[in-house]
Amino acid sequence: MEEKILEVRNLKKYFPTPRGLVRAVDDINFFIKKGETLALVGESGSGKTTTGHLIMGFYTPDEGSIRFNGIDITIPIEKRPKELKRMIQIVFQDPASSLNPKRTVKDIIEEPLKIHEKLSKFERFKRILEILNYIGLSEDYLFKKPVELGGGEKQLVAIARAIAPNPSFIVLDEATSALDVSAQARILKTLYNIQKEFNVSYLLITHDLSVVRNVSHRVCIMYLGQILESASTEEFFKNPLHPYTQMLLSSIPVISDEEAQLIPKKIESRGEIPSATNPPPGCRFHTRCPFAMEICKEKEPPEFQINKESNGIPHTVKCWLYAEKS
């Protein structure tokens, strides 16, 4: 088995509010191999971004552990060693808010080099030019500020900043969702090339299943703080199991007969997404599920491993419909 670069075990994060605890992340488990992309998918409020922020150390978990290269990193970012901060980077959803509007592109890319690399001023400048060339931006961009860039160009600069210190793991938090189709394609191609050349691992946080199909190796589906289904990308699109997964897939727009054949029969969910401060008992999706049984309302399903694997990757699902098939 390929070596794991990241392993999340029994991770929980609750946020107190006047209306009660928000169960943002509620006992999840997953791992990512070296050079692999894991897509963490779900609707708004599913807990996927909170998961990414826990990995980065922006939040401290209430329970559970996060291990990076076998070392426990379940500590706030300010307490993490400098080398660990170098190896784990993030690209945020909105580059306009994550890039300092007063700094030039050169300054933005140079900052992590100053922190993490022992280079002379000339060596840093040379490295900046190499990075710009790698992401497809010319020297003309060196002294531009974010306000002078388009959305895709801003995100390329954010990616350049993330890869500057040579990380081995990057959290991509909805990194393409705010971009038009052409800019999105450019970003995805750049990320693919980075992974292929430098063996970087990605946690791809997204709600866009079209992006997932093109770039990920494995998929985890989140709903109200829990992972409901996990599989290789190939198996996931071929054989979606959980009713929530089928609902998400049936809503993907298609442009060809071949794509239409991969889409499950339309599943209409019922009701609204429950509040994370008061999740329903039993299966959290049962209030919207057209196949809900009595047990779904009363008892939370365990994780069932279905006897179908793709490339040695098990297909797991939390759904009582599969209790006798595991």
Distance between CA atoms of residues 52 and 90, nearest Å: 9
Residue 64 CB contacts under 8 Å (≥ 6 apart), including other chains: 8, 9, 10, 11, 12, 27, 28, 74
50-80 confidence digits (pLDDT tens): 999 999 999 999 999 999 999 999 999 999 9
pTM above 0.75? yes
Give percent of the chain with pLDDT exceeding 70: 91
Across 5-14, 18-27, 134-143, 266-275, least confident range: 266-275
Across 78-92, 165-179, 222-236, 267-281, least confident range: 267-281
User: Given this model, what pLDDT does residue 143 score?
Assistant: 96
Distance between CA atoms of residues 167 and 90, nearest Å: 10
Average pLDDT, the chain: 90
Across 232-236, 284-288, 310-314, least confident range: 310-314
239-274 confidence digits (pLDDT tens): 999 999 999 888 765 545 555 555 566 566 667 788
pLDDT at 229 over 60: yes
Per-residue pLDDT band for 326 (boundaries 50, 70, 90) equals low
User: For residues 325 and 131, which has the higher predicted lDDT (pLDDT)?
Assistant: 131
**Residue 7 burial by CB count (10 A; 0-12/13-18/19+): exposed, middle or buried?**
middle
Mean pLDDT, residues 9-25 taken together? 94
Mean pLDDT, residues 34-43 taken together? 95
126-161 confidence digits (pLDDT tens): 999 999 998 999 999 999 999 999 989 999 999 999
Q: Look up residue 7 and give its two tokens.
A: 């392993």
Per-residue pLDDT band for 177 (boundaries 50, 70, 90) equals confident
**β-pairing, 37-41 with 201-206?**
parallel
**β-pairing, 313-317 with 63-68?**
unpaired
Per-residue pLDDT band for 275 (boundaries 50, 70, 90) equals confident
In order of their start, the domains of the chain are 4-216 (3.40.50.300), 240-326 (no CATH)
Mean pLDDT, residues 36-61 taken together? 95
What single-letter amino acid sits at 63? E
